Structure 1
Amino acid sequence: MTNTSIVADPDPGSAIWLGIVYAVYATIGIPANLLVLVLSMTKNVRIHPINICIISIAFADMMVLVSCLSSIIWALTNDIRVCKVMGVGIYVFVVMSMTLPSCLSLCRYVGLVRDEQELHPMLRPLRRRKGILALNGMFWAYGLLFNLPFILTDRMGLDSLGFCGVVEINSVLLWAYYLVFVISVLFGAYIVTFIFYRKLSTWVQTTSSLMTATSHTNETLALTRNIMRMIRWLLFVPFVFYYPAVVVQMALRISPNLVSVFTARLFVITLPIPHLVDPFITLFFVKCYRTTLAELINGGRKVFKHSVHPTQGSPMIMPQSSV
């Protein structure tokens, strides 16, 4: 009796080395993103409402790498069920990771506006932590639901890139859905990020020109500048490492025999890199994460020294001589 879930890979050799490369990415990136999530739970970081957006980005990046890690299982088993699950994970969490920088720029700008009346009524809830949580919830609801038409029509599997994702779309309705709910949402997220990034830039220029800046204002300026740098990197890195593969994938959807599977897989070898780099971008640009990490490392050193030298610093007790 044959197992219908086992299918032949068009290029098993490239599937193996791609799985190994992805496993290396995951080995580095999953712990790094997990570290950002742990730091986000600490007291010094929780006081900053934007940490909610950073938590979402770190979790999405970690789950992209977890999904990519399953490619080695696909290469070893050729179980199409593994490929389908990986494809859903890739499409959910990659899209989330690419749209969430817009949440970060939007929430940072709203937090800087002093007078709530200057904001559009739809933006005012974002001045509170519950509002930011609700916005992130909307992002995640979209990410988890937009794949349903592809899942229900069994469109997940090994695509023309030799990558687990949405396979050939042979329906005009699904093509329209793909263009509207995937491409348009990503494009819209970039527009929102650009708009509020410009607003942040204007705020920084205006505030920097003030002659009566307090220490609190200078600290807010420094944090905002670093958030802006972080947003630039969160957008720039995917642009470099995603779009060559996206262009090739669109070309292959039009002309499936344009390049071989081996060549196509060369274009997807860099896809997980943004999700590997993002946690290091966060640690580099957001001061509260850096200082909290330094405190945890110093605390760990003290605990280690105490465990190795338990009597260090304690008074020495001389034994009494017997008379």
Structure 2
Amino acid sequence: MTNTSVFADPDPGSAMWLGLLYAVYAAIGIPANLLVLVLSTTKNVRVHPINICIFSIAFADMMLLVSCLSSTLWALTYDMKTCKVMGVGVYVFILMSMTLPSCLSLCRHVGLVREEHELHPMLRPLKRRKGILALNGIFWTYGLLYPLPFILTDRMGLDPMGFCGVVEIDSFLFWTYYLVFIGGVLFSAYIVTFIFYRKLSIWVQETSSMISATAQTNETLAVTRSIMRMIRWLLFVPFVFYYPALTVEMVMRISPNLISVLTARIFLITVPLPHIIDPFVTLLFVKCYRMSLIELTNGGRTLFKRSVYPSHGTVAVKP
């Protein structure tokens, strides 16, 4: 009895090397993002409500790398059912990872405003942890629901680039939906990020020019500058590594035979890289994550020493 879900690949050689490369990416990026998720639950990090946004970004990055393993499984099995399921994950988590920096910039701006009446009424709930959780819930609800039309119409599978995703868009209605709910939302997220990044920049300039500042103000200033650096990386890295592949994808959706699958898959090499780099950017720029990592590492060393040298550090009892 044959497995009807098994299909031939248009270029098996490129499918294999891309699948192996994505497996290497996953081996590096999944543990790194998992580390950020673990650090987000530590005491030093939980006190900062902004960690909710960073947790969401790390989770989206990790799950995207898990979904990218569809290329590895495809190269090994050519199982279309697996490609369909994991292709949904690719579409959900790649867009979430690219839109959530807007949440980070927005929530940091709100956190800096001292008086709630200075904020727009819609932004005031973000002064509290529950409000930030609700905002992230809105992001994730959108991310999980927007691929639904493609799922219901069975448009998930191996796309023109030889990547698991939306197979074809053959109607004006679906093109409109694709451009609005993917391109439009992504563009809007970049606009929101730019607006509130600009507000953060103004706040930093004004606060830096103060003649007298408390230690708490200087600490807040340092944290805000670090968040701004992180936001710049979260926006710049995908722009460099992801948008060339996005351009090729759009060209192949319009003219499928213009570019070969082998050439298209070369552009896919860089797609997962931002999601491997993001956790290292977090550890580099966000002090509370670095401190928690140091404490976690030192705690592990202490536990190791105690397990190896049980008597180390104990007081000798004289008879």
Provide structure 2 residue ranges, at least 5 long, that are not aligned to the other structure: none
CA distance in 1 between counterparts of 2:228 and 2:317 reads 58
Q: 5+ unaligned residues in a row in structure 1: which ranges?
A: none
Shift of 1:35: 0.4
Preserved contact between residue 57 and residue 100 of structure 1 (Cα < 8 Å): yes
Letter in 1 for 2:156: M
Partner of 1:197: 197
Q: Using the TM superposition, give the Cα deviation of residue 167 of structure 1 relative to its aligned residue in structure 2, in angstroms.
A: 1.3
Q: 2:163: which partner in 1? A: 163
**1:36-83 deviations in Å (ceiling 9; x for gaps):** 000000111000000000000000000000001132111111110111
Structure 1 residues 253-292: aligned runs within 5 Å: 253-292=253-292
CA contact (8 A) 1:71 1:86 kept: no
State the identity %: 76
Q: Which amino acid aligns with 1:282?
A: T
String of CA shifts for 1:87-108, please: whole Å, max 9, x gaps: 1000000000000000000000
| Distance of 1:180 and 1:303 partners within structure 2 | 53
| Cα distance in structure 2, aligned partners of 1:27 and 1:315 | 44
Q: Using the alignment, how far apart are the partners of 1:212 and 1:191 within structure 2? A: 34
Alignment partner, residue 127 of structure 1: 127
**Larger deviation: 300-309 or 87-96?**
300-309
Q: CA deviation at 1:258?
A: 1.1
- Specify the alignment match of 1:115 in structure 2: 115
1:29 — aligned with what? 29
More deviation in 221-230 or 69-78? Answer: 69-78
State the TM-score, normalizing by the size of structure 1. 0.97
Matched, 1:303 2:294: no
CA distance in 2, matches of 1:130, 1:295: 28
Residue 316 of structure 1 and its aligned partner are, at CA, apart by 4.7
CA displacement, residues 157-214 of structure 1 (integer Å, 9 cap, x when unaligned): 1111111111110011111101111100000000000000000000000111111200
| Paired position in structure 2 for 1:18 | 18
SS in 1 for 2:242: helix
- Name the TM-score, length of structure 2 as normaliser: 0.98
Alignment correspondent of 1:244: 244
In structure 2, the residue matched to 1:230 is 230
Q: Please give the secondary structure, in 1, of the residue aligned with 2:170.
A: coil
Aligned-partner residue type, residue 62 of structure 2: M
The answer on whether the counterparts of 1:103 and 1:136 sit within 8 Å (CA) in structure 2 is yes
Report the residue type matching 1:6 in the other structure: V
Determine which structure has more spread, i.e. the larger CA radius of gyration: 1
Instruction: Please state if 1:40 is matched with 2:40.
Output: yes
Which residue of structure 1 lines up, in the alignment, with residue 179 of structure 2? 179
Give the 3-state SS of the residue equivalent to 2:165 in structure 1: strand
Return the alpha-carbon distance in structure 2 between the equivalents of residues 170 and 311 of structure 1. 72
Q: CA contact under 8 A between 1:30 and 1:66: conserved in structure 2?
A: yes
Instruction: Check conservation: 2:26, 2:65, Cα contact below 8 A.
Output: yes
Query: 1:225-282, CA deviations, whole angstroms, 9 ceiling, x for partnerless residues?
Result: 0000000000000000111101111111111111211111000011000010100000
Aligned to 2:293: 293
Residue 285 of structure 1 and its aligned partner are, at CA, apart by 0.3
User: How many residue pairs align between the two structures?
Assistant: 319
Please list, as runs of the form range in 1=range in 2, the aligned pairs for 1:141-152 lying within 5 A after superposition: 141-152=141-152
**Amino acid corresponding to residue 71 of structure 2 in structure 1:** S
| Structure 2 contact 70–87 (Cα < 8 Å) conserved | no
| 3-state secondary structure, aligned to 1:31 | helix
TM-aligned CA deviation for residue 312 of structure 1: 2.1
Match of 1:85 in 2: 85
Distance 2:41 2:119 in 1: 29
CA contact (8 A) 1:68 1:90 kept: yes
2:134 counterpart letter in structure 1: A
Shift of 1:3: 2.2
Deviation (angstroms), 1:311: 1.6
Distance 1:78 1:69 in 2: 13
Which residue identity does 2:304 align to in structure 1?
F
